[in-house]
C-alpha cells in the first residue's frame, strides 16, 4: 500500500491541506469555514501523512508536539478574551483593528480566538490519533 | 465595615505564612485583629447609639440584587463586641493550647475565617450576603471541628455538624429568596423599616418556617441539637468560641434580627416558644446524665440556646430584654467554663467530672476563674448571671402565654444549671486531690487571661450593670423590639417572688448537686443518655442516602455504552413529548404535500443512507459496520450541503472522516466482535425507531410553525453590524457565544489529556 506514488503525493499534499485549512480559517468570519473546520482539515492532512510516512517522521518534519499545540491554542484563545479587558471593555468584547490586511482581512480578537480554536483542534486530534497509531 | 471583613480575611490569608516564621507566637500576633475590631466597634458605639444605625453599601452582583451591604446597629454592634472581644482571648488561648502543633498555622486560618464569617453575618445588610457568611461559618466550623482529622470521630462529627447546619441553611436560603421576592428587596434595612410589608401575605407562614429551620439547626435546637455535643471533638478553644459564644448564637441572632418582621406571625412565635421550651428542658436534663465536662457544657449550651429562643419567641418587651441579658451572661460564663475545661483537660489529662477533685491547689488561677463563672451560672448575687436569672424569671412568669408551664420549665432548668455549676466551681477544685493521668500544674499565662478576664467581667458586670452592660443591651433589645423601651438593670429589686425563686433555685441546685451520684447511677442503669433520639435518625439516614446514591449510579452509570444510549434517547423522547402534550399546539402537517415533491438526487441520498442502515444492521464485522455508518454520515452531510448548510456539511464531512479513522485505529484495542442476538437487536431497535419517528414528526411540525424567530432575526441582523462578520455560524461560535466555545475547547483539551494518559496506561501494562 505504501507505494512511491502515494508517499510522494502525500508529501506534496500535506502542505496543500494545511494551506487550504488556513484559508478556511481566515475566511471563516465571512464565508463557510472557521477555526474548527480548518483545524480538523489540517489535522486530517497531517494524520494522513503520518499514516503513510510514519508518525515519528511527521513529528520530526513538522516539529509538532500535540500537547504543546493544545497548550498554545488554549493560551491564544485565553489571551484573546483578556485583551478587551486591558483596553477597558468588558471581557470578551470583540476588538478590531481599523485597517485590514490583504489576503487575511480584518484582524481582531474574535479572529484570534478562532486561531486558538484552530490550533487546539489540531492538537487534540493529533494527540489522540498519534498515540493510537503508535502501536 | 467592609475593611473589618477584609482585615479578617487578610488575617486568615496571613496565618499560614506567619506560622512559618513565628511558630510560637502566630496566635498572639493574629490576636491584634480581633482586639483591633473590638476597639473599632467601641469607637463606633456612640455614633451608632446616637443615630440608630449606620449602613455602608458596595455594588456587587447587580442582576440579583446582591450588594455588599453592611449595617451596624444596637444589635449587631453588641454581637461584634462579643465576637471580637471573646475572639481576642480565644486567639491567645489557642496559641498556647496548640503550643507545638505543626498545623497551628492552618488552625488560625480556619479560626480567622470563622471569626470573619461570624462578623459578616451580624453586620450584613443584605439577606443574600448574610446567607453567604452563614454558609462560610458552616464551612469553617466544619474545618475547625474536624481539626484532629486523623481521628475518625472528629471527621464524623465535623461532617454531621456541616450536613445538619447546611441543610438548615438551604431551607433558610429558600425562605430568604421567597421573602425577597414578596417584599421586593433583599435589603435588611428596607425590610426592617417596613415590618408590615408581609402582613396578610399568604406566604408569610411558609417564609417564617423556612427561615426558622435555618436558625434552629444552627442554634442546635431540638430535634437538630445532636450535632453540638458531637462537635466537642474539636480542640477546646474551638468549643469555647464556636459553641458557646458565637456560632451557635447565629440562629439566635437571626431570629432577633428578623423579629420585627415576624413577631406577629403564629408560626414564628409558637414554633420558637415550643421548640425553645422543649430544648431548654431537654438539654438541661441530658446535661445532668453526663459526666464528661465538655458534654455537660454542650448540653447546657443547648439548653441556654433554648432559653434564648423561647424568650425571643414570647416577644414581650421584658422577654426580649431578658434574651439579650441572658445572652451576654451566658457568653461570659460559658466561654470561661469551656476554657477552664480546656485547662483541666490539658493539664490533668481527664475531663471526667465524677473522677476529678481537689485540683484547686495546683491550679489556683483556673480555680478562681471557674469559681466566678460557676457562681454566675448558678445565679448568685451579685454576679451578672444573677441579674440574667432575675430578668429571665421575671419574663417567664409575666408572659401572657401559659406562664405557669414556661415559668416552671425555666425554674427546673435554672435548678439544673445551679447544680452543675457547683460541680464545675466547687467539686473538681476542692477536697481531696484525685489521681489524674497527668501531673497537674497550672496552665500557662495566655490560657489563664481569657477565663480570668471573662469571669471577672461576670462579677464586675453584675455590680456595675447599670454603667457597663445596660447601654449596649438597651440598644440591642430596642433594635429587636423596634420601639423605645427603657431597660433597667440592677441587683436589688426588693424581696419579691422572683428573688425568693432565685434563692430556691440555689437551694434546689445544691440538693441536686448532692444527689448527683444517685442520679447518675439511676441514669446509667436505665441508659438514659443512650436512648435513641434524633441522632439515630441521622445515623440511619446517611447510609441509606449512600445506598440510594450507589443504586442510582449503578443504574445510570452502568458502564455499558448501549445502556447509556438507551437512557439518553428515551429521556429525550419523553421530554419532547411531554413538552408537545403540555403546549396546546396540535400537530398538523398542512405543508406535507411539499415534501412529496422529491428531486431525483434527494432520492439518491435517501437510498444511499437506507443501504447504509441496512448494511449496519446485518454487518458481520466491525469494519463493515463502521464503513456503513460512515455512509449514513456522508449522506447526511451531502443533504446539508444541498439544503443550504455548507458550514454544517463541511463539519459533518470532516467529523465523519475522523470518526472512521478513530474507529479503525481503536479496532485493535476492542474485544472480539460479538454479533448481537436477533431478539436483542429488536429490543434495541425499539428506542432507536421511537427516536427517529419522534425527531421526524418534530421536524415536520416545526416546518409548519411560523418561521419568524426573534433569535434568528437577531443573529441575522447583528452578526455584521455588531461582530463585523457575514458568516453567522462562525460569528455565533467565536463572538456571541464565545464563552460557550471557550468552555468547549477547554473540555476538549482536558478530555484529550485524559485519553492520552489512559492510553499510555493501557500501553504500559
Cβ contact A32–B650 (<8 Å): yes
Among B215, B249, B283, give the residue marking a domain's end. Answer: B249
Q: Which residues pair with B759 in a beta bridge?
A: none
pLDDT score of A17: 92
Per-residue pLDDT tens over the stretch B10-47? 988 888 888 888 888 888 888 899 999 999 999 988 88
Report the gap between the CA of A51 and the closest CA in chain B (Å).
10
> Of B105-109, B479-483, B501-505, where does the model show the most confidence?
B105-109
Q: Do the chains contact at B752 and A124, CB–CB below 8 Å? A: yes
Q: Residue B529: what pLDDT?
A: 64
Cβ-defined contact of A113 to B738 (cutoff 8 Å): yes
Same domain (yes/no): B521, B562: no
Rounded Cα gap, residues B174 and B193, in angstroms: 22
**B314 has pLDDT over 80:** yes
Chain center to CA of B152:
22
Lowest-pLDDT range of A107-116, B161-170, B202-211, B400-409: B400-409
Least confident residue range of B126-135, B268-277, B555-564, B683-692: B555-564
Is residue B496 domain-shared with residue B608, that is, in the same domain?
Answer: no
CB–CB of A34 and B751 under 8 A?
no
Number of Cα atoms under 13 Å in the Cβ half of residue B204: 18
Residues B25 and B137 occupy one common structural domain: yes
Place of cell 416552671: B408
Same domain, B520 and B651: no
Mean pLDDT across the stretch A45-54? 88
Q: Between chains, do B729 and A34 touch, taking CB under 8 Å as contact? A: yes
Q: What is the pLDDT of residue B63?
A: 81
Neighboring chain B residues of A66 at a CB cutoff of 8 Å: 752
Chain A residue numbers with beta carbons less than 8 Å from the beta carbon of B738 are 81, 92, 110, 113
For B462, the domain range is 328-538
Which pLDDT band holds residue B571 (cuts at 50, 70, 90)? very high
Q: Which residues of B touch A77 (CB under 8 A)?
A: 742, 745
CA B259 to chain centre: 21
H-helix or E-strand containing A108?
Answer: strand A105-108
The residue among B567 and A31 whose pLDDT is bigger is: B567
Cβ of B759 under 8 Å from any chain A Cβ? yes
Q: What is the mean pLDDT of residues B391-406?
A: 75
Average pLDDT over residues B229-255: 82
> Is residue B255 in a domain?
no
Residues B22 and B62 in one domain: yes
Please list every residue in chain B whose beta carbon sits closer than 8 Å to the beta carbon of residue A39: none
Which residue, among B147, B144, B142, has the nearest Cα to B161 in the 3D structure?
Answer: B142
pTM for this structure? 0.75
Q: Which of A28, A67, A77 is the closest to B745 by Cβ?
A: A77
Residues B700 and B725 in one domain: no
For residue B351, tell me if it sits in a domain. yes
Distance in Å, alpha carbon of B335 to nearest chain A alpha carbon: 49
For the record, the C-alpha cell of B207 comes out as: 417564609
Taking an 8 Å cut-off on Cβ atoms, the answer to whether B658 and A33 are in contact is no
Give me the residue from B658, B749, B755 closest to A44, CB to CB. Answer: B658
Kindly state whether B748 is in contact with chain A, defined as any CB-CB distance less than 8 angstroms. yes
- Asked whether residue B534 is assigned to any structural domain, the reply reads yes
Q: Which residue range(s) make up the domain with A85?
A: 4-134
What is the per-residue pLDDT for B149?
Answer: 84
- Model confidence at B116, pLDDT cuts 50, 70, 90, reads very high
Mean pLDDT of B310-317: 86
Calpha distance B670→B672 (Å, rounded) = 7
The number of C-beta contacts closer than 8 angstroms across A and B is: 125
Q: How far is B667 from chain A (nearest CA, A)?
A: 10
Q: Classify residue B685: in a domain, yes or no.
A: yes
B763 and B663 share a domain?
Answer: no
B109 lies in the same domain as B56 = yes
Of A10, A3, A5, A4, nearest to A50 by C-alpha is A10
In a domain, B54, yes or no: yes
**Domain count within chain B:** 4
* Predicted pLDDT of residue A20: 92
Query: What pLDDT is attached to residue B592?
Result: 60
Confidence of residue B344 (pLDDT cuts 50, 70, 90): confident
Q: How far apart are CA B191 and CA B70, in angstroms?
A: 14
Cell of B631: 455512509
In DSSP terms, B68 is beta-bridged to B58
Cross-chain residue pair A28–B658, CB shorter than 8 Å: no
CB contact under 8 A, B748 and A32: no
Q: What pLDDT does residue B415 have?
A: 86
pLDDT of residue B399: 62
Q: What was the pLDDT predicted at B659?
A: 87
- Predicted local distance difference test score (pLDDT) of residue A21: 92
Asked if B113 and B246 touch (Cβ cutoff 8 Å), the reply is no
Domain membership of residue B696 (yes or no) is: yes
Digit-coded pLDDT (tens) for B156-200: 888 888 888 899 999 999 999 999 888 888 888 888 888 887 787
Cβ proximity of B213 and B184 under 8 Å = no
Q: Are residues B762 and B677 in the same domain?
A: no
Condensed to tens digits (0 to 9), the pLDDT of residues B67-104 reads 888 998 888 899 999 999 888 988 888 888 888 888 88
From chain A, the residues in CB contact with B743 under 8 A are none
**Residue B714 forms contact with A (CB below 8 Å):** no
**Is B257 among the domain residues?**
no
Specify whether B24 is located in the same domain as B65: yes
Decide if B554 touches A, using CB distance below 8 A: no
Mean predicted lDDT score pLDDT of chain A: 86
pLDDT digits (tens, 9 = 90+) for B415-431: 888 888 888 888 888 87
Q: What is the pLDDT of residue B708?
A: 65
B655 touches chain A (CB under 8 A): yes
Provide the angle, in degrees to the nearest 10, between the axes of the packed helices B152-183 and B127-145.
180
- CB contact under 8 Å between B759 and A28, yes or no, is no
Reported as type and span, the H/E element at residue B68 is strand B66-73
- pLDDT-derived band of residue B346, with 50, 70 and 90 as boundaries? confident
Split into its structural domains, chain A has a count of 1
CA nearest to A31 within chain B: B727
Tell me: do B562 and B435 sit in the same domain: no
Tell how far CA B584 is from the center of its chain: 43
Contact call for residues B276 and B307 (beta carbons, < 8 A): yes
Mean pLDDT of A35-46: 90
Instruction: Supply the mean pLDDT for chain B.
Output: 84
Choice among A6-10, B145-149, B579-583 with the minimum mean pLDDT: B579-583
B360 lies in the same domain as B462: yes
- Does residue B615 surpass a pLDDT of 70? yes
- Which residues of B are less than 8 Å from A131 in CB distance? 755-756, 759-760
Amino acid at each position: 500500500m505504501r507505494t512511491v506514488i502515494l508517499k510522494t503525493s502525500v508529501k506534496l499534499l500535506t502542505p496543500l491541506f494545511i494551506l487550504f485549512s488556513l484559508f478556511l480559517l481566515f475566511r471563516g468570519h465571512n464565508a463557510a469555514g472557521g477555526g474548527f473546520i480548518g483545524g480538523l482539515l489540517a489535522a486530517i492532512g497531517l494524520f494522513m501523512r503520518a499514516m503513510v510516512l510514519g508518525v515519528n517522521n511527521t513529528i520530526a518534519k513538522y516539529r509538532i508536539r500535540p500537547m504543546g499545540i493544545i497548550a498554545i491554542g488554549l493560551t491564544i484563545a485565553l489571551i484573546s478574551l483578556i485583551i478587551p479587558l486591558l483596553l477597558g471593555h468588558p471581557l470578551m468584547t470583540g476588538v478590531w483593528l481599523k485597517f485590514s490586511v490583504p489576503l487575511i482581512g480584518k484582524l481582531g480578537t474574535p479572529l484570534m480566538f478562532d486561531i486558538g480554536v484552530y490550533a487546539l483542534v489540531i492538537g487534540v486530534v493529533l494527540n489522540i490519533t498519534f498515540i493510537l497509531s503508535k502501536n | 465595615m467592609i475593611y473589618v471583613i477584609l482585615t479578617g480575611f487578610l488575617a486568615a490569608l496571613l496565618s499560614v505564612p506567619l506560622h512559618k516564621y513565628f511558630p510560637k507566637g502566630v496566635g498572639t500576633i493574629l490576636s491584634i485583629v480581633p482586639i483591633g475590631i473590638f476597639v473599632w466597634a467601641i469607637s463606633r458605639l456612640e455614633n451608632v447609639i446616637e443615630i440608630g444605625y449606620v449602613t455602608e453599601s458596595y455594588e456587587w452582583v447587580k442582576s440579583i440584587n446582591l450588594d455588599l451591604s453592611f449595617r451596624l446597629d444596637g444589635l449587631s454592634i453588641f454581637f461584634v463586641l462579643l465576637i471580637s472581644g471573646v475572639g481576642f482571648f480565644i486567639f491567645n488561648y489557642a496559641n498556647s493550647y496548640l503550643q507545638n502543633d505543626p498545623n497551628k498555622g492552618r488552625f488560625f486560618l480556619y479560626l480567622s475565617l470563622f471569626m470573619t464569617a461570624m462578623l459578616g453575618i451580624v453586620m450584613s445588610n443584605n439577606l443574600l450576603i448574610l446567607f453567604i457568611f452563614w454558609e462560610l461559618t458552616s464551612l469553617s466550623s466544619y474545618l475547625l471541628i474536624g481539626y484532629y482529622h486523623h481521628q475518625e470521630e472528629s471527621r464524623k462529627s465535623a461532617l454531621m455538624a456541616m450536613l445538619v447546619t447546611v441543610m438548615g441553611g438551604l431551607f433558610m436560603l429558600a425562605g430568604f429568596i421567597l421573602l425577597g421576592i414578596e417584599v421586593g428587596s433583599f435589603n435588611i434595612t428596607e425590610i426592617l423599616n417596613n415590618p408590615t410589608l408581609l402582613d396578610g401575605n399568604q406566604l408569610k407562614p411558609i417564609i417564617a418556617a423556612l427561615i426558622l429551620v435555618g436558625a434552629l439547626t444552627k442554634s442546635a435546637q431540638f430535634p437538630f441539637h445532636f450535632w453540638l455535643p458531637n462537635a466537642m471533638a474539636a480542640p477546646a478553644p474551638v468549643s469555647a468560641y464556636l459553641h458557646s459564644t458565637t456560632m451557635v448564637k447565629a440562629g439566635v441572632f437571626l431570629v432577633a434580627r428578623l423579629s420585627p418582621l415576624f413577631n406577629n406571625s403564629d408560626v414564628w412565635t409558637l414554633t420558637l416558644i415550643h421548640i425553645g421550651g422543649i430544648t431548654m428542658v431537654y438539654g438541661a436534663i441530658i446535661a445532668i446524665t453526663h459526666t464528661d465536662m465538655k458534654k455537660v457544657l454542650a448540653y447546657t449550651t443547648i439548653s441556654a440556646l433554648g432559653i434564648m429562643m423561647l424568650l425571643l419567641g414570647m416577644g414581650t418587651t421584658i422577654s426580649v430584654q431578658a434574651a439579650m441579658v441572658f445572652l451576654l451572661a451566658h457568653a461570659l460564663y460559658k466561654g470561661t467554663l469551656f476554657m477552664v475545661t480546656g485547662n483541666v483537660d490539658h493539664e490533668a489529662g481527664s475531663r471526667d467530672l465524677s473522677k476529678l477533685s481537689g485540683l484547686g491547689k495546683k491550679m489556683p488561677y483556673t480555680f478562681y476563674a471557674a469559681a466566678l463563672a460557676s457562681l454566675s451560672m448558678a445565679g448568685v448575687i451579685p454576679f451578672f448571671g444573677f441579674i440574667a436569672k432575675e430578668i429571665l424569671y421575671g419574663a417567664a412568669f409575666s408572659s401572657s402565654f401559659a406562664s405557669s408551664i414556661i415559668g416552671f420549665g425555666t425554674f427546673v432548668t435554672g435548678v439544673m444549671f445551679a447544680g452543675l455549676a457547683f460541680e464545675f466551681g466547687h467539686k473538681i477544685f476542692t477536697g481531696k486531690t484525685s489521681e489524674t493521668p497527668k501531673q497537674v500544674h497550672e496552665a500557662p499565662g495566655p490560657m489563664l487571661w481569657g477565663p480570668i478576664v471573662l469571669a471577672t467581667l461576670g462579677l464586675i458586670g453584675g455590680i456595675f450593670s447599670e454603667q457597663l452592660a445596660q447601654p449596649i443591651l438597651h440598644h440591642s433589645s430596642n433594635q429587636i423590639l423596634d420601639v423605645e423601651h427603657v431597660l433597667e438593670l440592677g441587683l436589688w429589686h426588693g424581696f419579691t417572688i422572683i428573688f425568693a425563686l432565685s434563692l430556691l433555685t440555689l437551694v434546689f441546685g445544691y440538693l441536686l448537686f448532692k444527689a448527683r451520684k444517685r442520679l447518675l447511677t439511676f441514669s446509667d442503669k436505665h441508659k438514659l443518655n443512650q436512648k435513641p433520639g434524633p441522632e439515630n435518625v441521622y445515623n440511619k439516614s446517611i447510609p441509606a442516602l449512600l445506598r440510594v446514591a450507589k443504586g442510582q449510579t449503578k443504574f445510570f452509570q452502568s458502564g455499558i455504552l448501549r445502556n447509556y444510549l438507551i437512557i439518553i434517547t428515551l429521556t429525550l423522547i419523553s421530554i419532547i413529548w411531554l413538552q408537545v402534550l403540555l403546549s396546546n399546539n396540535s400537530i398538523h402537517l398542512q405543508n406535507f404535500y411539499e415534501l412529496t415533491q422529491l428531486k431525483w438526487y434527494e432520492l439518491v441520498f435517501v437510498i444511499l443512507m437506507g443501504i447504509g442502515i441496512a448494511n449496519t444492521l446485518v454487518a458481520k464485522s466491525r469494519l463493515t459496520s463502521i464503513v456503513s455508518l460512515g455512509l449514513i454520515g456522508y449522506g447526511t452531510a451531502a443533504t446539508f450541503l444541498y439544503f443550504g448548510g455548507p458550514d454544517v456539511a463541511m463539519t459533518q464531512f470532516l467529523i465523519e472522516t475522523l470518526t472512521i479513522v478513530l474507529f479503525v485505529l481503536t479496532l485493535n484495542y476492542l474485544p472480539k466482535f460479538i454479533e448481537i442476538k436477533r431478539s436483542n437487536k429488536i429490543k434495541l431497535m425499539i428506542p432507536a425507531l421511537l427516536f427517529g419517528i419522534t425527531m421526524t414528526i418534530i421536524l415536520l411540525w416545526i416546518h409548519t410553525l411560523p418561521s419568524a424567530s426573534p433569535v434568528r432575526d437577531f443573529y441575522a441582523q447583528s452578526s455584521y453590524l455588531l461582530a463585523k462578520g457575514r458568516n453567522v455560524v462562525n460569528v455565533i461560535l467565536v463572538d456571541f457565544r464565545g464563552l460557550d466555545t471557550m468552555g468547549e475547547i477547554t473540555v476538549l483539551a482536558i478530555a484529550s489529556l485524559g485519553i492520552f494518559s489512559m492510553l499510555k496506561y493501557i500501553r504500559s501494562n
